[in-house]
Amino acid sequence: MKNIALLGATGSIGTQVLEVVRANPDRFRVCSMTAGWNTELFSRQIQTFKPMYASVATENDARILQKRFPQVQFSWGMEGLCAAASLGDVRMTVNGLMGMIGLQPTMAAVNAGKDVALANKETLVTGGEIVMDAVRRAGVEFLPVDSEHSAIFQCLQNQAPPRRLILTASGGPFRGYSCQQLRTVTRAQALKHPNWTMGAKITVDSATMMNKGLEVIEARWLFDMEPDRIDVVIHPESILHSAVVFRDGSVIGQMGKPDMKIPIAYALSYPERLENSEEHLELTEPGCLHFEKPDPRTFRCLGLALEAVAAGGSYPAVLNAANEEAVTAFLRDEICFAEIAELVETVLQGHKSTTIRSVEEILALESETRRMIRSILSKKAQERK
């Protein structure tokens, strides 16, 4: 029986993790779990999975839930997240949080000697070097949950060092659009991904292709691979999840239906594989698989991410914070779709890179970047009046 901590239980990743746990009650037990604001769903999850410890966003919600579930210990905020991630009985922490909020709990889990299954790519985008140094010191397993990184991880098992990594991308709902067409994209259109069902923020990131750029940065640290040896290839069917090129010219890829429960189950059960009752991929179903080069000039967010990882230093952390704030503004209908990339680029152009040595420096950089974005947005709002 593997005891797990689940961070972000009510989100897209979290709910699918719980589906895997429910299907394998003899293999996994949820000892601690966290949620943000969706306390109604969280209450039902607590009733079903009966954790010892739970945490929510606010003290008020924690106190309300404590009265309803007196047998569960409740906390809130960042302190609650870190406590849930590092709980004594936990063997593996599954980080399904969205955004930079996932960095500190990941570090808490690693420093407490917990294995980590990571779906929170921002952890490595913002603090990759610091996090991976901590992982090596702690000697813990650090397993990817993202379908692309899980695919690469599987392809690398018992293999020689790779020459190149290939990250595939669906291209999102606006594949083939021109820069002019992207300026007319609506919020509703951006939230309709052709292949995957995900949360709002990551769905928008997929539409701008920032998500793929962030995944390149994540892969750079996760697999200790120089950025210029990581390729992005558009693959609209989302059947080949990623691939690895070896020095003899062999290319090994991992294929499967676009179902996040597959990489989730692999991370939870590694090095074993769980029985999956769902129908597997029939190669004749898609008929043909298509591949094409990305267009980082049109999809400027991808280009900005590639430039940031090549520049290194504090650029990826600034890129990520600026993007989070810009996407939030888009989801609130404060800016148009194309302005997401424009805002991020404006902030990056004004940034002078520094060497990041601590989580505290990352958080300070995040705060300053968000302040800059809000200042720009405020000026834009004034100009429109």
- Domain layout of the chain by residue ranges: 2-145, 146-299
Q: What is the mean pLDDT of residues 278-307?
A: 92
DSSP β-ladder status, 162-169 and 240-246: antiparallel
Q: Please, how many CA atoms are within 13 Å of residue 211, restricted to the half-sphere of its CB? A: 27
Residue 171 in contact with residue 234, Cβ under 8 Å? yes
List, for residues 83-129, the tens digit of each pLDDT value: 999 999 999 999 999 999 999 999 999 999 999 999 999 999 999 99
**Range with the lowest mean pLDDT among 159-163, 281-285, 353-357, 361-365?**
281-285
Using DSSP's 3-state secondary structure scheme, residue 143 falls into strand
Confidence check: pLDDT of 160 > 80:
yes
Q: What is the mean pLDDT of residues 69-90?
A: 98
- H/E stretch holding 142 reads strand 142-144
Residue 177 banded pLDDT, cuts 50, 70, 90: very high
In percent, the amount of the chain with pLDDT more than 90 equals: 92
Q: Which CATH number fits domain 2-145: 3.30.420.10, 3.40.50.150, 3.40.50.720, 3.40.50.300?
A: 3.40.50.720
Instruction: Record the tokens describing residue 5, joined without a space.
Output: 């901590």
Instruction: Please state whether the peptide bond connecting residue 173 to the residue before it is cis, i.e. omega within 30 degrees of 0.
Output: no
Residue 123: how many other CB atoms lie within 10 Å: 28
Q: How confident is the model at residue 176, as a pLDDT?
A: 94
The percent of the chain in helix, strand and coil, each rounded to the nearest 5, is 50, 15, 35
Name the more confident of 279 and 21.
Answer: 21
Q: Please, how many CA atoms are within 13 Å of residue 82, restricted to the half-sphere of its CB? A: 10
Confidence check: pLDDT of 385 > 70:
no
Maximum Cα–Cα distance across the chain:
62
Distance of alpha carbon 97 from its chain centroid, rounded? 8
